[in-house]
Each structure stands twice: as C-alpha cells, then as structure tokens.
Amino acid sequence: MKRTFDLLLALFLLTLLSIPMLIIFLLIKLVSKGPAIFWTDRIGINNSIFKMAKFRTMKLNTPQVATHLMKNPDDYLIPAGSFLRKYSLDELPQLFNVLKGDMSFVGPRPALFNQNDLVELRTKKNIHKLIPGITGWAQVNGRDDLLIPAKVSFDEYYLNHRSFVFDLYIILLTLVKAIKREGVRH
C-alpha cells in the first residue's frame, strides 16, 4: 500500500508542480553557472548508494559534506539558494527518486555517502532496512537542529511505529513546518 501511495502522490505532485519546478529550474540557470539539478550520492535501503536529485542551491565548488559541518555554509549559496532551502523547494526533484523507488515520501532522510557516524548508528538500530524518505519523523521534530543521536532516536521510533496513518501525519506536519520554515538553518 505504501508503494502505491508513493507512486500516485508523486505522479499527482509532479503534474501539479511541473510549472513551478520549471520556473525554479530556469531561475537557477539564470543566477548560476552549471546544472540546475544536483545529483548527490546518498545512502539508501540496506546502505546501498543511490543518486538523489535536488535543485542546486550551492555553488559548484562546494565540498560534499553535511551543511552543519561547513565553516560558513552561507558563503556557498547561490542567489536564491537560501530561499529555496528555507521553503524546502530544493527537495522537489526527489519526486523522481520516489517514482524510481529509491525513496519514499516518509522514511529516514538519506545520509550523505560520507556521513559514517550516522550510517553506523542507523545500522546498529536496523534503520538501514527502511527506504529513505523525502521527509521523516526526525525532520518534523527538529530537522537541522537535531544532533545525530537524536535523529537516530526519532528514526528508530519511526521504524517501530510506522503505519499509513503515521505517514499521513508526518506528511501533514512536514507541510506545516515547511511553510513556517521551522528547523532550517541554511
């Protein structure tokens, strides 16, 4: 049921958001050199690596590390990058990852390929057996403000309590948090 829901919702949202996504694509091309969509190596189900799509909000020379590990992450933002990140608009291309099956709407956020501490903790708790999500229980409970052990604790709670109704609740909370820009530092 979850996969069917993911497919139907992704198709619906891609249809609904195709014009805004095209505008974002063109805006990025106008204000910055390079591709508008950034493909990043992420850790997926069973710790496999997959390519996750995002609208590019950072300059081309940005190191591939978690934003919280950067000395001055704002120095790497392209014009409009901060706006796209604050409203999570940079995440919209992940709808294609949902269609492909690499991601779900709800699950633990996929770790960067080099976030070994996060991957190790998730593996110890069997969280690596879940398909990663565009949003998740940790996202709606602090997002960038959470330390890794807290994120893993929220991910573990989701692992043990996941259900269709819980997923719908997380999606609703995600919309509210995105509109309010809660938990986004960069």
Q: What is the pLDDT of residues 2-20, one digit of tens each?
A: 999 999 999 999 999 999 9
**Could you tell me if residue 174 is inside a domain?**
yes
Domain limits for position 156: 2-180
Amino acid 185: pLDDT: 52
- How many Å apart are CA 56 and CA 28, to the nearest integer? 7
Q: Report the percentage of the chain scoring pLDDT > 90.
A: 71
- Tell me if 10 sits within 8 A of 98, measured CB to CB: yes
**Could you tell me if residue 185 is inside a domain?**
no
- Sign of the Cα pseudo-torsion (43, 141, 105, 128, in order): positive
Number of domains in the chain: 1
Q: What is the CA angle 139-140-142, rounded to 5?
A: 70
Amino acid 87: pLDDT: 83
Phi, psi of 74 (to 5 degrees): -65, -25
More confident residue, 69 or 26: 26
Residues in the chain: 186
Q: pTM for this structure?
A: 0.88
pLDDT, tens digit (0-9, with 9 covering 90-100), for 54-105: 999 998 887 776 666 667 777 888 999 988 988 889 999 999 999 999 999 9
pLDDT, tens digit (0-9, with 9 covering 90-100), for 116-151: 999 999 999 999 999 999 999 999 998 778 899 999
Amino acid 71: pLDDT: 74
**Could you tell me if residue 121 is inside a domain?**
yes
**Could you tell me if residue 171 is inside a domain?**
yes
The structure tokens listed for 68 are 């919280």
**Could you tell me if residue 186 is inside a domain?**
no
Bridge partners (DSSP) listed for residue 104: 133
Counting Cα atoms < 13 Å in the Cβ hemisphere of 166 gives 12
The structure tokens listed for 49 are 């690596």
- Tell me if 29 sits within 8 A of 36, measured CB to CB: yes
**Could you tell me if residue 102 is inside a domain?**
yes
* Residue 48 pLDDT greater than 90, yes or no: yes
**Locus of tokens 């919309």:** 175
Average pLDDT of the chain to the nearest whole number: 91
